[in-house]
Each structure stands twice: as C-alpha cells, then as structure tokens.
Amino acid sequence: MSRPVLEEARIHPAIRERVATAHADIVHNVQAAASSNTILVVGMVGNPFCRRARRLLGDAQLPHQYLEFGSYLSQWRRRNALKMWTGWATFPMVFAKGVLIGGCDDLKRLLDSGEFKRFLGEV
C-alpha cells in the first residue's frame, strides 16, 4: 500500500529540516513503545473511544501499554505528527506487535472475530 506523501524535491530546502524534525520526539516515543510492547494504545484525555479501547482489552484480559498525549485542546500539534506518520486520523491508535491495527471500532471487530488473539499468537 502506498499513500501520497509530498516528495522531498517539492519541499523548499530552507524548510526541509523543520519538516523532517517537527515533533519527531513523539513519533520516536510511540515507535519505541510499539516495538517494545505487545499491545500499545495511544490516546488522549477525554476521548471516550480511548477509554473504550482500553476497557475492551481489559475485558479480554490482554495487558497493554497506554500512552496519553494531551486533550482535545492541548498537544494537538504533537498528536498531529502521529497522524501524519501513521496516516491514521483519529485516536486511539492501537498497535499490536508493532503493527497499527486501527482504532477502537477496528479493535472491537478484531476481538469479536477472534482475529486479534490469532494475530497475537494466543489461539
């Protein structure tokens, strides 16, 4: 799968460094957490879908790591870096074995079908 990303040649040299490093710390933090945790949920304060995803994992007795970045009004620029990196526009972002599996509804669908536990190698 490929998705459109503005090619480097179409970014003026004067801003390439700024584009490349904008909020890189949050992206590296999530990359590291996704690599070192079997299940990672990335969310934000006040988002009911983030709470629901964590509850679904708890009900399924699947331990997970949770990273929270701000609320609807705070840290939105930092969260935007995650959206640009993943191509996923909403929160939560649920990773399993380092793979983005989607959001809360996607997690529920995979849990209900049994595909999530098969993906994890638990079935």
In the chain, the N- to C-terminal Cα span, in Å, equals 28
Give pLDDT tens digits for 66-80: 999 999 999 999 999
Give pLDDT tens digits for 36-91: 999 999 999 999 999 999 999 999 999 999 999 999 999 999 999 999 999 999 99
- Amino acid making up residue 79: R
Residue that the structure tokens 């809360």 belong to: 104
Angle at CA of residue 117, ends 114 and 120, nearest 5°: 145
Contact yes or no for 104/61 (Cβ under 8 A) = no
How many Å separate Cα 115 from the centre of its chain?
A: 19
